[in-house]
Chains A and B, each alone.
Chain A
Amino acid sequence: MPEFIAELLNRNDIFTASTIMEYWGGLVTTVQLVFLSLVLGLILAIPLAIMRTSKNPLINMPVWLYTYVFRGTPLLIQLYIIYYGLAQIEGIQQTFWWDIFREAFYPALLAFTLNTAAYTTEIIRGAIVATPSGEIEAAKAYGMSWALRMRRIILPSAARRAVQAYSNEVIFMLHASAIASVVTLVDLTGAARNIYSRFYAPFEAFIFVALLYMALTFILVFAFRKLENYLLRHQRPVSG
C-alpha cells in the first residue's frame, strides 16, 4: 500500500510532499476554526435563545435585533467588516486588541462565532417554543421553579427537537468557512487556491479539497446520527 501511494506521488507534479503539507495545514486551520466557532456559538446561543423566548421586550428585542442583523447579512460581508473594518479604527494598533485582531484567525473566528450563534439561537428558540404545554404544566404541578423547569424539562426536550436542524447548521458552517481564505487565512480552500495558482491545475487542486470537505462532512453526519440515537433513544421500539 505505501508503495502504491509513493508511486502515485512520483507520477504527478502537484501532489508532492510540500503541497500535501500545505493541505494538511489548511485542514488543521479549517477544523480549528469551525470547531471553536461552533462551540463558542453554542455556548452563546443557549442563554440567548432563552432570552429570545422572554415576554419582556427589553430582554427579547435586543436578541431579536442581533439575530436579525447576523442572519440578514452575508457572512462574507460580516467577515470583511470585522477584518478590514476594525483595522481602520484610529489608534487600534496601539491597544491590546491589536494583538488579537492583527492575525486573520481571530477576526474570522469572531465573525463565524457571531454568525453561527445567531442561527443557533433561532433554532433553539423554535425548539423551546414548541415544547408541549402538557410537559410545562406537569412540571409546574410538581412545584418546579422556573430555573429547574428550564434545566430539567424544557431544554432537554428542546435539544431533542433541535438536533436535526442543528446538524444542518454545523455542516453549513463547515462549508461557509471556505470564505476564510479571502482574509489571507490558509484554510483548506486557501491551500487549494494557492496550489491552483501555482500549477494552473484547477481540477486536481479543487477536487482534492472537495474530497476532504466531503470526508469531514461524513464524520459530522456520523457523529450527529450517534447523538440523535442517544437523545431519541426513548422513541425506539422496545426490543424482545
Chain B
Amino acid sequence: MRKMIVAASVALAMMAGVANAQERDLRIAFDVPYEPFEYKDENGELTGFEVELAEAMCEEMNANCEFVIQAWDGMIPGLLARKFDLIMSSMSITPERAERVLFSEPYYNTPGGWFAREDFDTDVTDMDAMEGKTVGVQRGTTMDTYVTEEMGGIVNIKRYTTADDMVLDLEGQRLDVVFVDYPVGEQTILGKEGFKEVGEPVKLGQGVGVAMRKRDEELAEEVNAALATLKEDGTYDTIMEKYFAYDIKM
C-alpha cells in the first residue's frame, strides 16, 4: 500500500509540473502468489518483478494506479467486465488470447532450460551427439513445440503431464535430459543433489505482455511507449536484476 501511495504521489507531483497532463486512473490486476513475479512480502505488501515494473510504468505514464488481486480463472472475464483495465500477471501472448484481448509488446520471457544428472556431458546443441538421447518435456508447452520442431526424429521425446513426473524419470535415469521452463527447473531440479544445468537457456514463444481491452488502443500505445522507455533507461534492468540471476528481458 505504501508503495502505491508513493507511486501515486510521485505521479501527482510530476503532473503538477506538466500543466496539460490529465490525471488518469488505471486499475491493474495480478494473480498472487506467483513468485517472484507477484507475491506478498512478510508485511503483507504486494511486491515482485511485475508489481515493481507496473509501478515504474504508472510513474512513466503519469497514471494514478490501483492494484487489484484477481484469481487467474477470472482474469480475462474481469478485464472485459471492466473490473480493471490492465493485466500484468505473467500472461503469455498466444493467438487464442489475442482474439479476446489486446496485448502490449512483450515485456519478459522466461527461457527454457536444459537440466540433467551430473554425469551428463553431451552438448545439447550438437545434433549428432544428441541422436538417440531421451528428452523429457511437458506436453503442450512451448518447450514441447521447440523440441518437437527442432529435434524431432533425432532425439527420443517423452511427454509428461506434470513436471514432477518428469523429474522422477530424470532421477530414475529414464531420461537423459529435460527441457523445462527455466524457473521451474531452477526450483525443482537444481534444488536436488546430483543435477546440473546444461547448455544455454533458450528463448521461446512470444513472451508475456500487458493485456488490455481491444478497444483501448490509445492506452496500449501509451503502455508500449512507457515500457520502451523503462527498457532503455535502465529502470527495467535494475528491477530485473533484483529478482533474476538471468536475462528475461524482451
Does any Cβ of B come within 8 Å of A212's Cβ? no
Mark B143-178 against chain A: 1 for CB-CB distance below 8 A, else 0: 011000000000000111100010011011110000
Does any Cβ of B come within 8 Å of A88's Cβ? yes
Name the segment of A36-44, A121-129, A191-199, A229-237 touching the other chain: A191-199
**Docked complex Cα distance between A84 and B172 (Å):** 8
B contact residues around A168 at 8 Å (CB): none
**Docked complex Cα distance between A198 and B140 (Å):** 6
**Docked complex Cα distance between A196 and B144 (Å):** 13
Residue of A nearest to B173 (CB): A93
**Docked complex Cα distance between A104 and B158 (Å):** 10
Please report which residues of chain A, range 167-184, place their CB below 8 angstroms from some CB of chain B when the two chains form the complex: 182, 184
Contact of B172 among A88, A190, A200 (CB under 8 A): A88
Does any Cβ of A come within 8 Å of B96's Cβ? yes
Q: Is there an interface contact between B169 and A184, defined as CB atoms closer than 8 Å? A: yes
**Docked complex Cα distance between A120 and B144 (Å):** 40
State the interface size on chain B (CB cutoff 8 A). 16
Q: Is there an interface contact between B172 and A184, defined as CB atoms closer than 8 Å? A: no
Q: Is there an interface contact between B144 and A197, defined as CB atoms closer than 8 Å? A: yes
Residue of B nearest to A183 (CB): B165
Chain B residues within 8 Å of A, Cβ to Cβ = 96, 139-140, 144-145, 158-161, 165, 168-169, 171-174
Chain A residues within 8 Å of B, Cβ to Cβ = 84, 87-88, 93, 98, 102, 104, 182, 184, 190, 193-194, 196-198, 200
For the complex with contacts A87-B169, A104-B174, A198-B140, 15 further pairs of A-B residues with Cβ separation under 8 Å are A87-B168, A87-B172, A87-B173, A88-B171, A93-B172, A93-B173, A98-B173, A102-B173, A102-B174, A182-B161, A184-B158, A184-B160, A194-B159, A196-B140, A197-B139
